[in-house]
Structure 1
């Protein structure tokens, strides 16, 4: 498919995008930009977008059931992250940005691997999903990334972008063109987020050493 055909598909998809999808996309953009700034408002904006995406992805006409479950997981983790932030807001170290430890990496890999297997089996045997393996992979790697985000780990951006790069063509295939464009944007923001969080970590580390 050439560039003009892709542009035509994109224009058609945008024209057919529902108001509710627009709302979900706008709140999702707000959430990821706030996450990039390490701002607590990333959680309430994320809660709004995830609730809408649960509905959109779970519709039989869309059939991305693992992504619907993923957005439910996002919802739970956003509530948890918001609660954790508020609980520890007076303790700077509790919300500090850090890198994965060896234990964190083992848990991250376990979440992604076990999550993929569970999602795939559920989608293959209990739904009419036409893309169980890919849908499961996108959701499992994103679950791992969201867990790391809630713990303020720099590597959350890596796992989220592994999920994003696979989700982009999947969403186009399913006709969610605006959401696929959002995912391209999220990919770029996640790259910038990784760079920013790495710098914030280095600054924090330098301050601790100087203290």
Structure 2
């Protein structure tokens, strides 16, 4: 019975990872379909994370779900009923992103430490805090989303290994590589969009 449970959990990790990989490839290409595969990956991950008692990650993935729906609408209709462009974060948006990190970390670390049976409250909270900020910036199509998401990926790799979620740990390594590539790709696309705007002005 226990063996069957872990086989099922590993199988679900594999499917969720596959959808997650497709999602990040689409995100790197600045393709709106990233959100469709992202939602499928999120729903699978919620079950896996619940079984592993990674409660902050569960809340993070619920937040991902909401932001994915918001992001899809913003990317689709974010600027006068046409696709919103890639832009750099303003100073105000940088402050908001850091506020999300600090606020999320403070709340999550307190909740996990005193109201759950989590054995990694600080670790889990740190992963979630940077990911919350990164997902918010991605939904707004901001270049710097990749930086915040990659900080989250770096922290999550040893956490997932510690929790014996090796497939997800491997996926986090892949996400870090794709996040670095995505940042460079988006920066190039942003420069091309700006040149086009100036040329047609």
- Which category describes the TM-score, using the shorter chain as reference length? over 0.9
Q: 1:117 aligns with which of 101, 106, 118?
A: 106
TM-score (norm 2): 0.92
Moved over 6 A (4+): none
- 1:55 Cα deviation from its structure 2 partner: 1.3
Q: 2:22 aligns with which of 2, 27, 30?
A: 30
Give the secondary-structure state (helix, strand or coil) at the position aligned to 1:18: helix
Task: Provide the residue aligned with 2:3 in structure 1.
Answer: none
- 1:88 Cα deviation from its structure 2 partner: 4.1
TM-score (norm 1): 0.88
- 1:146 Cα deviation from its structure 2 partner: 0.2
Task: Provide the residue aligned with 2:65 in structure 1.
Answer: 75
Q: Deviations over 1:8-55 (max 9, x none)?
A: xxxxxx989621111111101111110001111101110011111111
- 1:75 Cα deviation from its structure 2 partner: 0.7
Equivalenced residue count is 195
Give the secondary-structure state (helix, strand or coil) at the position aligned to 2:172: helix
Q: What is the root-mean-square deviation in Å for CA atoms of aligned residues?
A: 1.7
1:1-211, aligned counterparts within 5 Å?
18-59=10-51, 62-88=52-78, 91-92=81-82, 95-211=84-200
CA contact (8 A) 1:17 1:178 kept: no
Alpha-carbon distance in structure 1 between the residues aligned to 2:13 and 2:173:
16
Alpha-carbon distance in structure 2 between the residues aligned to 1:154 and 1:86:
17
Please list every run of 5 or more consecutive structure 1 residues that lacks an aligned counterpart in the other structure: 1-13
Q: Deviations over 1:90-114 (max 9, x none)?
A: 744x510000100010000000000
- 1:135 Cα deviation from its structure 2 partner: 0.2
Alpha-carbon distance in structure 2 between the residues aligned to 1:147 and 1:107:
10
Alpha-carbon distance in structure 1 between the residues aligned to 2:54 and 2:123:
10
CA contact (8 A) 2:75 2:139 kept: no
Please list every run of 5 or more consecutive structure 2 residues that lacks an aligned counterpart in the other structure: 1-5
Alpha-carbon distance in structure 1 between the residues aligned to 2:186 and 2:75:
17
Task: Provide the residue aligned with 1:5 in structure 2.
Answer: none
